[in-house]
Structure 1
Amino acid sequence: MKESVVIQQKKSPNLNFSLLKKDLVFTISFILAAISCFIHLPKIEYINFHVLISLFNLMLAIKALEELKVLDKFAISILNKSKNSKSVSGILILFCFFSSMLVTNDVALLTFVPLTLLISKKTKINMIDTIILQTIAANIGSSLTPMGNPQNLFIYSFYGLKPMPFFMAVSFIAVLGIGTLYFLFQRLEPKEIKVDLYPVTVGDPKKAIVWGIVLVIIIASIFGVISYPIALFITLGTACIVNATLLLKIDYLLLITFVCFFIFIGNISSTTAVQTFASMSMKDPSSVYFSSIGLSQLISNVPASILLAQFSTDWKPLLLGVNVGGLGTIIASLASVISFKLFNQANPNESKNYLIKFSIYNFAFLAFLASAQYLIFIILDIL
């Protein structure tokens, strides 16, 4: 008996890499962050705590509303008004497009992608295309307003822009984007919805109202109306009083993934090579435009806008480039990471299929919108 114990102890330990295999985006972000630390030492200021805390607050509030069956009630109301899966998709895509103009692309996706996943589960219909189009819709819709995404807010304040020139600059992308989304939406196959829709009762209406108020406070903190530490205190306090188990149900890997990307982006942006590229490639509006698109693919559009703004006084091609550049790779806009993480959490076996379809859709959009906008540059220059 002792001998068998000795034999067991001599066995080499089996390291569990299932988490790394399961969560591809986390794995990639972790590897990129680790490698970049050998190139440049990370700094605490690379991490955007406003974004992280806002994401945590939103995940907690959405999870609470989900458990109280508020999302179920919302989902059933959408299904009751829809004839088939295609009309459901249309509603969900439009929700993301228009809401992202007001509450940012991150918030729009964090709110409506879980709703899409819930409807997909209830109807047993694969809505992978819908979620990808929702992501594109949020990234395009958010380009239309200064508060729609962080890069717009930065450029708007950094260059001291006025509302009318801003809207005139981005309106073409938004109109062309929604037109292209409509074309792709029409290609979705309408499937009959076969589901027994039983009336849903909200778990506790009083708690739902409380969390609804908390959600409003969180969104107010995103707009800077109240400070985000106060919003965190209120959200955590509400969770501890109302339902502390919610704190165990948050996707903390999503937050760690964002930390890894912040470290990678900060390290890479600080390298001499990137700084030299930025300074040498900002000679005229066309180079500013294409440089901002290209750099967004590597370090995402928010840090790309912050970095390139230091080397150019030409705000319009930079604004258009980082907004178009939010399409393409999954890290071109970190809002896209949110959609993928939410989808992967519900459908871990479909992650590869999602990334392939996501890349096809996004690079097609990127090529089309980038070319169309560049033609507008040329036409306006001739006129």
Structure 2
Amino acid sequence: MGKISKIIRDEWLFFVAVTVTIVSSLAFKRMPEITKDDLKILIILFNFLVITKGLEKSGLFVKIAFYFEKGNPFLKLTLLSGILSMFVTNDIALFTVVPLTLSLSIPPEKIMFLVILETLSVNGASALTPFGNPQNIFIYYYYHLDFTNFIKAIFPFFMFSFALILGIALLWERKEIKITEKKCEEELNRKKAVIYGSFFIMFIGVIFHIFPIEISIIPPLFALFKDKTVLRKIDYFLLLTFLAFFGFTSNISSALRFSLSNPHKTLIYSAFISQIISNVPAALLLAKFTNLWKSLLMGVNVGGFGTLVGSLANLIAFKLFKNKFNNLTRKYLLTFHLMSFLLFFVSLMFSLLIT
């Protein structure tokens, strides 16, 4: 019973998605429809999860993070979190950097502040690329976007929010710190790093439409026959959550006849809905009702700031921190929400001005 309650608590968004899909199907007396484009997005996301998990298991990310330990950790680790998130998603970046941060030889309150900075950093920086976070992957493929246009659309928001976060980190106290020897001695599996690194380059080729999507089957097949541990570590609940929300949005779009045609309203709705149901489902829901992908893209990325549920990355960092410093939970939540809501409203105002 304890395991079941833990799964429900950890994967609450999946169970919410399944519930609203079932309820909407019963209410509208229809079966949810999953389109070819929906399946294409799931294939791309699954492929990407396999690649990033393979790179993570190779020890490459920890080795990279180790070199960022000296000098001002607040600036360097905040910067590292953001840079990693641009390429391997905000979730993976936090799973890499936060455990290292928790092992630093500095007071717990400073660790708390650094984890919050890292969380805000990945939310701002991951917005830049189509593969920086799950909602970007969805929007990129749902609207059949061009890579250059995608970057141009989101670049101002990225520059503004990321520079603001780095500015806060730069102003924080400078202090030499070190990571524990256990972390420093983690072995790098060079062969695995090269293989999954090659898969990542191939994935970029798919994003740029150089390679067909069918080539995405190679990394999962490799993992199936040569590296099954990677497949066991994939976040299948994330994929199932996407699938459930695809069904829910198909039910809703068939019953509701309205569209979001105002850029400012689309941005505002997507940002505030993200505060309640998180930015990934907000993107899945609103995409059915608008062609204004730029406003939606900016809105759901702004929505990553604000409440703890605004982004799944926020919840990941909080859980990791809470597991080690449970006595600071209340202080963490207060500090996080003060900083996060400040960034939410400032970024929202900026995004509205440039939209």
Q: Closer, same or farther in 2 for the Cα pair 1:18/1:123, shift >3 Å?
A: farther
The aligned residue for residue 279 of structure 1 is 258
Conservation of the 8 A alpha-carbon contact between 1:57 and 1:235: no
5 Å matches for 1:110-189? 110-111=92-93, 113-123=95-105, 125-126=107-108, 127-152=111-136, 155=139, 166-186=150-170, 188-189=172-173
Partner amino acid, structure 2, of 1:279: F
Aligned positions, number: 335
Conservation of the 8 A alpha-carbon contact between 1:142 and 1:148: yes
Deviation at 1:141, TM superposition (A): 1.8
Question: In structure 2, what is the Cα distance between the partners aligned to 1:25 and 1:186?
Answer: 34
Deviation at 1:176, TM superposition (A): 1.6
Residue 318 in structure 1 maps to residue 296 in structure 2: yes
Deviation at 1:131, TM superposition (A): 3.0
Partner amino acid, structure 1, of 2:241: F
| Local SS of the residue matching 1:40 | helix
Partner amino acid, structure 2, of 1:216: G
Conservation of the 8 A alpha-carbon contact between 1:97 and 1:134: yes
Q: Closer, same or farther in 2 for the Cα pair 1:55/1:72, shift >3 Å?
A: closer
Aligned sequence identity (%): 25
Residue 374 in structure 1 maps to residue 352 in structure 2: yes
Output the TM-score relative to the length of structure 2.
Answer: 0.72
Conservation of the 8 A alpha-carbon contact between 2:78 and 2:166: no
The aligned residue for residue 274 of structure 2 is 296
Whose Rg is larger? 1
Question: In structure 2, what is the Cα distance between the partners aligned to 1:105 and 1:299?
Answer: 19
Residue 96 in structure 1 maps to residue 78 in structure 2: no
Deviation at 1:273, TM superposition (A): 8.4
The aligned residue for residue 9 of structure 1 is none
The aligned residue for residue 228 of structure 1 is 216
5 Å matches for 1:321-360? 321-340=299-318, 343=321, 347=324, 349=326, 352-353=329-330, 357-360=335-338
Deviation per residue, 1:42-100 (Å, 9 max, x gap): 869478354345335533542342xxxx6665454333xx23xxx12311221232343
| Local SS of the residue matching 2:177 | coil
Conservation of the 8 A alpha-carbon contact between 1:110 and 1:338: no
Q: Closer, same or farther in 2 for the Cα pair 1:319/1:90, shift >3 Å?
A: same
The aligned residue for residue 245 of structure 2 is 265
Output the TM-score relative to the length of structure 1.
Answer: 0.68
Conservation of the 8 A alpha-carbon contact between 1:151 and 1:301: yes
Deviation per residue, 1:166-194 (Å, 9 max, x gap): 54543321222123203432464445536
Question: In structure 2, what is the Cα distance between the partners aligned to 1:201 and 1:321?
Answer: 41
Conservation of the 8 A alpha-carbon contact between 2:127 and 2:158: yes
| Local SS of the residue matching 2:268 | helix
RMSD of Structure 2 on Structure 1 (CA): 4.1
* Bigger mean CA deviation after superposition, 118-127 or 149-158: 149-158
Partner amino acid, structure 2, of 1:255: Y
Deviation at 1:324, TM superposition (A): 1.6
Conservation of the 8 A alpha-carbon contact between 1:100 and 1:142: yes
Question: In structure 1, what is the Cα distance between the partners aligned to 2:175 and 2:265?
Answer: 45
Deviation per residue, 1:262-281 (Å, 9 max, x gap): 355345434448963x825x
Q: Closer, same or farther in 2 for the Cα pair 1:317/1:255, shift >3 Å?
A: same
Question: In structure 2, what is the Cα distance between the partners aligned to 1:161 and 1:60?
Answer: 27
Structure 1 gap ranges (5+) = 1-15, 241-245, 378-383
Structure 2 gap ranges (5+) = 26-30
Q: Closer, same or farther in 2 for the Cα pair 1:247/1:89, shift >3 Å?
A: same
